[in-house]
Amino acid sequence: MKIDKKNRSIVNIFGAPLIIFSIIFNNYSFYFLIFVITFFSFFEFINLLLMRNKLTVSKLIVGFLWVSSIGLFVPLYQSLLIPKEFILIIFSSVWITDSAAYVMGKKFGKRKVLPSVSANKTWFGSISGLTFSVLFLLIIYFNFSKEYWPENFQLFDIIFIGLITGLFSQFGDFLESYFKRGLKVKDSSNFLLGHGGFLDRFDSMYAVSFATYFYLLLVGFYG
């Protein structure tokens, strides 16, 4: 247990700054980040199915579409209407959601959301994650430059994006838990010491990228 906590701390210390740097440095560092996440996530997906002899063409297609959905951040990143800081805010909001749901659920949560899928996720933790996601975006909105947001972004959009990240990050987490439960595995791999694999760490981001992209597209902030 102590070794896992130490490994987790090491990955956090180096991993988070590396992701932040990749987002804000330039286009190529961000593209490389997305490529690495997609490549290793898909590799883990295939490996898990091969281990259980359940690999099929249909599952291969669905898996690729799912993990590559994080690539929807790329056209947003390239858009002149979407600041790079906005992408960083979305990533941070997902981390806030996951952390709040885990900490608050572990400390105060009692009633499980879907115990047959994930034994540790509670209603209190899920609601806390959603709440902290919205609060985090509101704090950023009222205390930092408006240039961090797409042009003409209003308070309603901030709240709605907070709800999107809070809801869909947990949906992605549940979906991956369901996938692993079906294969009877705990982690997708041990690539990320103390964190499992890329599927374990970025499962929330796949769903959030998809939902964020189409919200911005539908309301006219992108396209």
Please tell me the predicted confidence (pLDDT) of residue 14.
60
Instruction: Please say whether the beta carbons of 33 and 22 come within 8 A.
Output: yes
Name residues of the chain where pLDDT drops below 70: 1-15, 191-195, 222-223
Quick one: which of 20, 100, 23, 67 has its CA closest to 199? 67
Distance CA 134, CA 105 (A): 17
Which residue type sits at 82? I
| Alpha-carbon distances of 14 from 8, 22, 55, 77, 157, rounded to whole Å | 10, 12, 34, 23, 32
pLDDT of residue 13: 59
122 phi/psi in degrees, rounded to 5: -115, 165
What is the distance between the alpha carbons of residues 196 and 213, in angstroms, rounded to a whole number?
Answer: 27
* Every domain of the chain and the residues it spans: 2-219
| pLDDT in the model for residue 1 | 47
Is residue 197 within 8 A of residue 191, CB to CB? The reply is: yes
